[in-house]
Amino acid sequence: MLKEFTTDTITATRQLPAWREIMSDVYYSVDIVRPEQHLRGKIREVEIENLSFTRFDSDHQRVLRTRSKIAQDPDDSYVFIMPQREKMFYSQLGRTGFVTEGDYILVSTSEFYELSCPDNFINYTVKLQGQRLRERIPNIDDHLCCRFPMNREMAQIAICLAAKSAATLASSPSAHAAALACRIEDFIAMVVEYEDTSDAGQEKRARFLLRQRISQYIRSKIEDQDLTPREIALRLGISVSYLHRVFNEHGTTVSAYIMDQRLNLAYERLASANGLRATVAEVAYSTGFKNPSHFCKAFAGRYNKAPSDVRPKSM
């Protein structure tokens, strides 16, 4: 059945906190950052068995899935988003950019992210269960945040199927809801699976699992300024040359991956409310950088903005 949420009937000074509650009720717990308290926002939601389809229509805001929100509401989902009007900024796992009408993006609710939109922004969103999608695509996290060239044609079919199904089920339940949910999930899985036809897309599961273990270890030690490939290889029980080969196969290096993770964690800390309490230098040191100047230069090179520009102006 259709559920509708709007700030139209809420006093202007209460619209921003009310919108935070709406977003958290419809999706999962998030922070909403915006300079003003007034905010026009509307969401139309239809649940289709184990997934949900929404039409999001709102003005400028930064949506932050922070570590504190993840701990508060440990939702395990993947969110497939297709802008319908205006473009949206994204940042997750060190990947940043913009998606616009005709594009799509897949994000994980288990990792920090920022999604920012301008006034008069509209998107369609399909929220899918994390475990189900991972069972079908074990390396699904490799496809987060537009890592590979988009499969736009298949994405249009998937989102049209989801939108038509939601429109059909908006007024009354159907005995075919479960079948429709499975077909929507199938199409979105195909969108992701057919993004990449290179050797990386055919990676054997054993190699993928090893790379996941390496990545998890690096991220657990990312605050250590003296983290080295030799230490990583020793702790994982592999040779240094094999460690380098694992990353070279994916067009990167161990050092570049460590830098990506440091910058991603720094962005997360700066963008969160707690980031207001720490200086840029403190954030740099806490994410494994030995030199704040080097951090600022690397940050600007990655995100095309200064660390101070990421801090929320209002929470």
Per-residue pLDDT tens digits for 112-131: 999 999 999 999 999 999 99
Please give the model's pTM, rounded to 2 decimal places. 0.78
Helix (H, G, I), strand (E, B) or coil at 29: coil
Point out the least confidently predicted range of 203-207, 240-244, 251-255, 293-297: 203-207
What is the C-alpha to C-alpha distance for residues 5 and 26, in angstroms, rounded to an integer? 9
What is the C-alpha to C-alpha distance for residues 27 and 108, in angstroms, rounded to an integer? 12
**CATH fold for the domain made of 203-310:** Arc Repressor Mutant, subunit A (1.10.10)
Name residue, tokens 């939108």.
163
What is the C-alpha to C-alpha distance for residues 129 and 138, in angstroms, rounded to an integer? 14
Instruction: Return the domain boundaries, the chain.
Output: 2-196, 203-310
- Token code pair at residue 76: 């395990």
CATH architecture, domain defined by 2-196? Sandwich (2.60)
Q: What's the pLDDT tens digit per position in 205-247?
A: 566 678 878 988 998 999 999 999 999 999 999 999 999 988 8
Provide the mean pLDDT of the chain: 90
> What's the order of all strands across the beta sheet hosting 2-6?
2-6, 41-48, 51-58, 121-129, 77-85, 105-108
What's the burial of 248, exposed, middle or buried (CB within 10 Å: 0-12/13-18/19+)?
A: exposed
With beta carbons less than 8 A apart as the criterion, state whether 251 and 257 touch: no
> Tell me, what's the pLDDT at 139?
85
Residue 293 pLDDT greater than 80, yes or no: yes
What is the C-alpha to C-alpha distance for residues 129 and 75, in angstroms, rounded to an integer? 9
* DSSP for residue 202: G
